[in-house]
Amino acid sequence: MSDSLAIDHASPTAPAGGVDAAAEYAAVRDDVGLLDRTDWGVLEVTGRDRAAFLHAMFTNDIKGLAPGQGCAAAFLNAHGKVQALVAVWALEDRLLVVTPPGRAGALLEGLDRYLFAEKAALRDATGELALFLLAGPRAPALVARLAGVALPEAPWAHVAGSVAGVEVRLVRGGGETGEPEGWVAAPATAAAAVRAALVEAGARPVGPEAFEALRIEAGTPVLGRDVDDTVLLPEIPFLHLVSYTKGCYLGQEVVVRIRDRGHVNRHLRGLVIEAEAVPAPGAAVRAGDADVGRVTSAAWCPRRARPLALAYVRRQHAEPGTRLAVRAAGGDLPAVVSALPFPR
């Protein structure tokens, strides 16, 4: 669920000015970093049929969520192709659907097309909540110290708390950085006060360049870059997004058919680049003289001192350990296929 990113791919080698990014990366891997999520979208779903409606739309079990629980999910079209990746938080009287930046409006329109007689109301509440993500091995301790309440253990579960005298919701993250995470959802009017309190408590602000390296290492795809509406759900790491025991949902037939009787022709995989050049998004992945895939994202990873990439690779070449090459202006870059997340 990591989506508002911008990394400079213009430099053909490791970032020359990446000292701050390396320190921010280290903060998340070793301590606690703070990622601003105030540009993320929020849909509010109310009405007695709210859970049943989203249950029929999303890939995960929404009806089974009690207040204080949550889950990650996908919204597919009838052909099993990904339209949105979201987190759902269940409260006493409503469901909140958290979306990547700029996606809430399109998701609302997509859901509204299927809303007929159900007693459910959809509302775009983007901008009413300020969202912050604390990430790192010490993030749970910082939350407990600052808010006086422990983060739940289950991903996307949440509790009420208080930061800087402001009532907030504290949500266990889903691991988009590969580290323990806690979301802080505060009223937008109190965003500055809450952010200042998190920084004062020891969370180091983390920018997009560092986050890009973190999320690629963790195998977290970004909607609009690694995932778009041409992608079948089973082509990406998706098991945490799906319940196979729930009832029907949009696109379910395709997902189940692929699981039971077929396969996909390509997989999202990691590539360890055995060179200093960072591949450009869209760069061809080659096996000998044949194109067998394309890079979707890449970043210089400070701790590994080399680039890592996410790429779609044809099934016949997607086995971890397979040696491939990535096209680049200065010559092909040797690459080795990796499972996701990348092994540490």
Contacts of 338 (CB under 8 A, 6+ apart): 269, 270, 271, 272, 308, 320
pLDDT of 262 = 86
Cα pseudo-dihedral 106, 249, 122, 131, rounded to 10: -70
Average pLDDT, the chain: 94
Nearest by Cα to 2 from 236, 272, 182, 226: 226
If residue 41 lies in a helix (H) or strand (E), which one and from where to where?
strand 41-46
What is d(CA 32, CA 10) in angstroms, rounded to the nearest whole number? Answer: 29
pLDDT of 19 = 65
pLDDT of 18 = 57
pLDDT of 247 = 86
Residues 122-149 have a mean pLDDT of: 98
The dihedral built from the CA positions of residue 74, 77, 78 and 81, taken in this order, carries a sign that is negative
Alpha-helical (H) ranges within 7-133 are: 19-30, 50-57, 104-112
Answer whether residue 132 shows pLDDT above 60.
Answer: yes
pLDDT of 10 = 28
Contacts of 114 (CB under 8 A, 6+ apart): 53, 56, 57, 250
Answer whether residue 15 shows pLDDT above 50.
Answer: no
Answer whether residue 114 shows pLDDT above 60.
Answer: yes
Cα pseudo-dihedral 223, 227, 230, 236, rounded to 10: -140
* DSSP label of 171: E
Two structure tokens written together for 20: 């701050």
Two structure tokens written together for 246: 């729930």
CB 185: neighbour CB atoms within 10 A?
21
Answer whether residue 198 shows pLDDT above 80.
Answer: yes
Residues 179-185 have a mean pLDDT of: 99
pLDDT of 318 = 98
Q: What percent of the chain has pLDDT over 90?
A: 93
Where residue 330 falls among pLDDT bands split at 50, 70, 90?
confident
Contact 86, 99 (CB under 8 A): yes
Contact 134, 182 (CB under 8 A): yes
Where residue 4 falls among pLDDT bands split at 50, 70, 90?
very low
Residues 67-85 have a mean pLDDT of: 98
What is d(CA 265, CA 298) in angstroms, rounded to the nearest whole number? Answer: 22
Task: Reply yes or no: is the peptide bond before residue 341 cis, omega within 30 of 0.
Answer: yes
Q: Domains of the chain, with CATH numbers?
A: 19-38+128-217 (3.30.1360.120), 265-344 (2.40.30.110)
Give the lowest-confidence range in 17-26, 65-74, 168-177, 214-223.
17-26
Residues 273-286 have a mean pLDDT of: 98
Strand partners, 101: none
Distance, C-alpha 295 to centroid of its chain: 18
Where residue 261 falls among pLDDT bands split at 50, 70, 90?
confident
248-283 burial by CB neighbour count: b if 16+ within 10 A, else e? ebbbbebbeebeeeeebebbbbbbbbebebbbbbeb
Answer whether residue 196 shows pLDDT above 90.
Answer: yes
pLDDT of 5 = 26
pLDDT of 3 = 30
Answer whether residue 301 shows pLDDT above 80.
Answer: yes
